[in-house]
A and B are shown apart, each in its own frame.
Chain A
Amino acid sequence: MTDQSHDGDLHALWQSQSRGETTISLDEIRSRARRLERIVARRNLREYVAAAIVTPVFGLTMWVGPSGTIRLGAGLIIAATVFFVYHLHTRGAAKSSPADLALRASLDFHRVQLERQRDLIRSVWSWALLPFVPGFLLLQIGLALALPARTARFIGISVVFLVLLVGLHALNRRAAARIQQRLDRLKENP
């Protein structure tokens, strides 16, 4: 069999599978686009609402907390929440536009997607988790000082919290390293 006839066989075989039977109307497209926008808006709103709930709760603690340590801890959690929301907002604004899908060649698009995924995994620790650690620990210390009988419980909660953070960080580092390997392979052999 010649190379050309083999090509022809393959193309014919491939193209025989579909004749464009699935039709999607413009109204369906518009309604799906609106639905997708609503999903993204709802997801963002959920995070802003969570922040809006956290702030007054810890704001009240900051105001009427029984000790300076607890008040300071609550203040740090509010600061961490504001920092988190700011990052969420700037990340949302930096997302690619619909036209980027067409203006970037696939190799470039693929590379940018992987880099974005790697950077998100690498950095989520520093803007979504770490900022809450000082406030959380200060609160536990403040509570332990206010309720000495429950000190062991507060130490236990703090240890579990820190172990979870370290474990999550280790998992994220591994995932980021795997993505980096794919990026390196893409550079060597596009």
Chain B
Amino acid sequence: MAPLSDSGSCQDGLYAEAAASYGAALERLAHAYEPDADRRLDLLQDVHVALWRSFASFDGRCSLRTWVYRVAHNVATSQVIRRRGRAPAFVGLDELESMPDVVDREQVLDDRRALDRVMMLIHRLDPFDRQVILLYLEGLDAASIGEITGISAGNVATKVHRVKKVLARRFHEGTP
């Protein structure tokens, strides 16, 4: 392999830093976009490749975190849109709120199953609403989510509030 140039080693260094800081978040993101295990690994690898390639042009105009999340969500959304014809129809937040609750109270006691149920809801969501919710679940505030997604912080807060209501209704009703 040819020796690395300065820009090449900078690209590698940025990638290594991003992978170390956001590797776990990227795995969760892949899980939220792709239910199938093999395709999930493919998606995760595609995200890592896109990140590494993108760092050749990193110019610091936004934070590393914003850069990483934008690349990851944009790659994942593109794949979801491309495969849409073969996947179940997505729903927007309006439909999500009006979907009937089928809560099995036994299930909410089990974290694993609760997580599966959150994941099932997320997999049904329109890719763009999904981005907002995933960033919220990663613990980002409305302003940061707005910077990554390009929608206003107020709009982010509204979307997050609506999804939280749906989740609360489905996972917390009846718990002590």
Contact = CB atoms under 8 A, between A and B. Distances in A.
Interface in A32-60: 32-33, 36
Contacts of B81: 110, 113-114, 117
A147 interface: no
A11 B31 CA distance: 15
Contacts of A10: 118, 137, 164, 167
Main secondary structure, interface of A, reads: helix
Contacts of A146: none
Contact-residue size bin, chain A (C-beta under 8 Å from the other chain): 35 or more
The residue among A28, A102, A117 with the most chain B CB atoms within 10 A of its own CB is: A102
Contact of A36 (B31, B49, B114): B49
Contacts of A90: none
B38 interface: no
Contacts of A108: 150
Main secondary structure, interface of B, reads: helix
Interface residues of B, number: 56
B15 interface: yes
A23 B50 CA distance: 16
A32 B137 contact: no
B111 interface: yes
B118 A13 contact: yes
Contacts of A19: 24
20 contacts: A14-B28, A15-B137, A19-B24, A20-B26, A26-B15, A29-B15, A29-B49, A32-B46, A36-B49, A99-B54, A99-B58, A101-B50, A102-B71, A102-B74, A103-B61, A107-B151, A109-B74, A109-B77, A110-B74, A113-B77
Interface of A: 1, 3, 6-7, 10-11, 13-24, 26, 28-30, 32-33, 36, 97-99, 101-110, 113-114, 117, 185-186, 189-190
